[in-house]
């Protein structure tokens, strides 16, 4: 199975990105993946790892934003027993534990200046020194970093090291937001609905043309992650049904001029006993003529028909 099969889309910019990623996967170069939240940065990193010579070695994904600053160095580079309060045993650290494999640093912009300096040293030399250890270990891992921020702005603000940026920015890969991927939305809808239908043992829903237009108009601020969650909701709540704009969540259809509940109610309710359609039509013609005070053109407008049609029906019913 191709490691890039999980990245679905036919948009030209997306296909061009995948071609670059395939070339990068065959090398050992450091990669910086950029893109908005939910665009699939970790999936891209996993695909690069799966298609690299390190595929049978560990892949360690680390969310830098979730690392407590006081423990980040220990978590990444390890520590010796007794190095600090609570260090009751030696800890290898995520880099050494992934020896021979790939380490994915998500939200790398959230690392503190001290950890950035140590990461730069590691990228340049492969040297890994645990907290409380005097020895230096050499570690062979590939680093793929990701960010949803403009690192150049972080550099200007003094929040990110410029030398580390250039060390990570060897090959940049920028994932386009879903709103820029055109008809990929339809392909992703079909894929996710089929997957979740299989997972939950349900029949996948379908989407009518109006619903598809609405979904392709919506900007998807949460990108592919938001679309994926939307598909699971539709599969669970509306299995096997045809989804219309009225079935869509309010935030998706918020910009559409959909009819209100009052507007969708029938103008006339058919009695249980039925009715005579000709009598109803005659009665409406009588009412329209009375309201128009005999003016046939005005009566025709009230009925939504032409004057000739009104005259024909008046003749038909001998009105």
User: Is residue 268 predicted with pLDDT exceeding 80?
Assistant: no
pLDDT band at 261 (very low <50, low <70, confident <90, very high): very low
Q: Across residues 246-254, what is the average pLDDT?
A: 86
State the Cα–Cα distance between residues 270 and 311, nearest whole angstrom. Answer: 27
Instruction: Give the model confidence (pLDDT) of 141-162 as tens digits.
Output: 999 999 999 999 999 999 999 9
User: Is residue 103 predicted with pLDDT exceeding 70?
Assistant: yes
Three-state secondary structure of 226-244 = HHHHHHHHHHHHCCCCEEC
State the Cα–Cα distance between residues 156 and 165, nearest whole angstrom. Answer: 12
Domain with CATH 1.10.10 in the chain: 277-317
Going by C-alpha positions, the residue among 26, 17, 107 that lies closest to residue 64 is 107
User: Is residue 313 predicted with pLDDT exceeding 90?
Assistant: no
User: Is residue 265 predicted with pLDDT exceeding 70?
Assistant: no
Which pLDDT score is estimated for 73? 87
User: Is residue 263 predicted with pLDDT exceeding 60?
Assistant: no
State the Cα–Cα distance between residues 100 and 96, nearest whole angstrom. Answer: 9
Which pLDDT score is estimated for 279? 85
User: Is residue 177 predicted with pLDDT exceeding 60?
Assistant: yes
Domain with CATH 1.10.8.60 in the chain: 182-252
Q: Which CATH number fits domain 12-176: 3.90.650.10, 3.40.930.10, 1.10.645.10, 3.40.50.300?
A: 3.40.50.300
Average pLDDT over all residues of the chain: 90
pLDDT band at 266 (very low <50, low <70, confident <90, very high): low
Which pLDDT score is estimated for 11? 93
Higher per-residue confidence, 254 vs 251: 251
Q: Which CATH number fits domain 277-317: 3.40.50, 1.10.8, 2.10.240, 1.10.10?
A: 1.10.10
State the Cα–Cα distance between residues 84 and 78, nearest whole angstrom. Answer: 12
Q: Could you tell me which CATH number the domain at 182-252 has?
A: 1.10.8.60
DSSP designation for 79: B
Q: pTM higher than 0.85 for the full model?
A: no
* Three-state secondary structure call for residue 186: helix
Instruction: Give the model confidence (pLDDT) of 69-102 as tens digits.
Output: 778 888 899 888 877 877 778 888 899 999 999 9
Q: Across residues 275-301, what is the average pLDDT?
A: 88
Domain with CATH 3.40.50.300 in the chain: 12-176
Which pLDDT score is estimated for 239? 95
Going by C-alpha positions, the residue among 147, 154, 185, 162 that lies closest to residue 31 is 147
Instruction: Give the model confidence (pLDDT) of 212-224 as tens digits.
Output: 999 999 999 999 9
Q: Across residues 54-60, what is the average pLDDT?
A: 96
State the Cα–Cα distance between residues 148 and 42, nearest whole angstrom. Answer: 12
For residue 190, give every residue at least 6 positions away whose Cβ sits within 8 Å of its Cβ, in sequence order, or none. none
* Three-state secondary structure call for residue 219: coil
């Amino acid at each position: 199975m191709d490691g890039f099969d999980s990245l679905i889309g036919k948009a030209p910019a997306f296909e061009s990105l995948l071609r670059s990623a395939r070339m990068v996967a065959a090398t050992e170069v450091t990669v910086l993946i950029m893109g908005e939240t939910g665009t699939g940065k970790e999936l891209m990193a996993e695909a690069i790892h799966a298609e690299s010579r390190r595929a049978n070695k560990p892949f360690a994904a680390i969310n830098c934003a979730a690392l407590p600053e006081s423990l980040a160095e220990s978590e990444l580079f390890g520590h010796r027993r007794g190095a600090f309060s609570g260090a009751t045993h030696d800890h290898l650290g995520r880099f050494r534990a992934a020896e021979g494999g790939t380490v994915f640093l998500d939200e790398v912009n959230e690392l503190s200046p001290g950890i950035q300096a140590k990461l730069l040293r590691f990228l340049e030399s492969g040297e890994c020194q645990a907290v409380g250890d005097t020895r230096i270990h050499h570690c062979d891992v590939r680093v793929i970093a990701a960010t949803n921020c403009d690192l150049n702005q972080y550099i200007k603000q003094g929040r990110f090291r410029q030398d580390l940026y250039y060390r990570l920015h060897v090959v940049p890969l920028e994932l386009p937001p879903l709103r820029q991927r055109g008809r990929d939305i339809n392909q992703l809808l079909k894929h996710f609905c089929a997957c979740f239908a299989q997972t939950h043992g349900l029949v996948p829903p379908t989407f009518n043309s109006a619903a598809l237009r609405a979904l392709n108009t919506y900007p998807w601020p949460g990108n592919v992650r938001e679309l994926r969650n939307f598909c699971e909701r539709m599969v669970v709540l509306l299995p096997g049904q045809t989804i219309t704009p009225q079935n869509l969540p309010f935030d998706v259809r918020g910009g559409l001029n959909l009819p209100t509940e009052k507007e969708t109610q029938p103008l006339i309710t058919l009695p249980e006993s039925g009715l005579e359609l000709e009598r109803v039509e005659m009665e409406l013609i009588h009412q329209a003529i009375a309201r128009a005070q005999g003016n046939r053109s005005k009566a025709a407008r009230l009925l939504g028909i032409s004057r000739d049609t009104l005259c024909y029906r008046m003749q038909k019913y001998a009105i």
